[in-house]
Amino acid sequence: MKDLLTPNQVARAVGASEASLKRWCDKGLLPTIRTAGGHRRIPIHGVMQFLRERGMPLVRPEVLGIPTATGRGETTLERGFVGFRAAIEDGDEERARRVAIDLYLAGHSVCDICDFVIAEALHAVGSSWEHGRMEVYQERRGCEIALRVLFELRGFLPALETGAPYAMGGTLECDPYTLPTNMVELCLREAGWSAENHGTGIPVDTFCTAIARKRPKLFWLSVSAIESTDSFLADYQILRDSAQAHGAAIVVGGVALTEEVRRGMVYSAHCDNLRHLIGFARALKEAVTRGQEGP
């Protein structure tokens, strides 16, 4: 995928003339950056927003560095799930990218694509593995592909507003699951948060140092695996105290947070999926922004 494009490249990709493209740039319909020499450059996210809003087709997606035939495929989340799952099971990265980008161009939020397509496909992979229908290598490859798709979707999101509130998070030690915490980052960015995933397997003390230094307004903990409930709850208590001391809301989610585990936890919000998170994050962003503006 290319980050910055020339009017000529975008014109070829959307099947318009270069003169039209330059006119759209100058009218402000496409966000445009000028090079030192005064040439127009268009960020890929601007092109994607432009196409989404107008329902315009992509004639030659490969010019933008995205798979051939993108923009002519799945438009419902249900069909997208079937296509994405098959692509993951076949280890077909290009097809998986195409399905995800098609859905995005059709106007679905990244949050819904994560919840109803990518996560569901991974759940299906887990059950195929459990029933001996899939090999471990296929599951690992599926995970890699899904991660790359998330990074690609991230490049399509509109630029963050200046002053966007900061959020950070990740997983604690013994939790190697990369996809959920990356999805949280992506969906918070889509909701206008300057969100940074710090990765997996993070010792609690260094998480607390990061909270004290970076002062997030929202801290998320993704919990897909717990080795010992007692030590998890002890670490969580430390983390939560740190978040509270520095004025961060703490949001938790993940398949390992059973009702029993949650009984031992205090949090600002627990979310079963990303849609729930977005509801909470939007309301918190509004409150934080109002607070920053003053009475």
Specify whether the CB–CB gap between 188 and 281 falls below 8 A: yes
Q: Does 239 bind ligand B12 (CB under 6 A)?
A: no
Q: Does 184 bind ligand B12 (CB under 6 A)?
A: yes
Single out the residue of 9, 197, 222, 242 in contact with ligand B12 (rule: CB under 6 A). 222
Q: Does 77 bind ligand B12 (CB under 6 A)?
A: no
Q: How far apart are CA 92 and CA 281, in angstroms?
A: 34
* Smallest separation (angstroms) from ligand B12 to the CB of 224: 5
Size of residue set near ligand B12 by CB under 6 A: 32
Q: How far apart are CA 191 and CA 193, in angstroms?
A: 6
Range 109-148, binding ligand B12 (CB under 6 A): 114-115, 119, 122-123, 125-127, 130, 139, 143
How far CA 221 is from CA of 88, 131, 163, in Å, comes to: 26, 30, 23
Q: Which is nearer to ligand B12, 58 or 269 (CB)?
A: 269
Q: In what order do the strands lie in the sheet with 194-197?
A: 194-197, 166-170, 218-222, 249-253, 269-271
Q: Which is nearer to ligand B12, 51 or 248 (CB)?
A: 248
C-alpha torsion angle, residues 255, 260, 261, 262 (rounded to 10): 90
Angle between helices 44-54 and 136-156 (to 10 degrees): 90
Range 261-280, binding ligand B12 (CB under 6 A): 271, 273-274, 277
Which region among 38-46, 84-92, 151-159, 175-183 touches ligand B12 (by CB under 6 A)?
175-183
Q: How far apart are CA 49 and CA 157, in angstroms?
A: 8
Q: Which is nearer to ligand B12, 8 or 231 (CB)?
A: 231
Q: Does 83 bind ligand B12 (CB under 6 A)?
A: no
Q: How far apart are CA 144 and CA 37, in angstroms?
A: 39
Range 240-259, binding ligand B12 (CB under 6 A): 251-255
> Count of CB atoms within 10 A of residue 27's CB?
8
Residue at token pair 């607070």: 291
Q: Which is nearer to ligand B12, 36 or 136 (CB)?
A: 136
DSSP β-bridge partners for residue 42: 5
Q: Which is nearer to ligand B12, 51 or 281 (CB)?
A: 281
Q: Which is nearer to ligand B12, 146 or 164 (CB)?
A: 146
Single out the residue of 104, 177, 207, 267 in contact with ligand B12 (rule: CB under 6 A). 177
**Where on the chain is the footprint of ligand B12 (CB under 6 A)?**
114-115, 119, 122-123, 125-127, 130, 139, 143, 174, 176-180, 183-184, 220, 222, 224-225, 251-255, 271, 273-274, 277
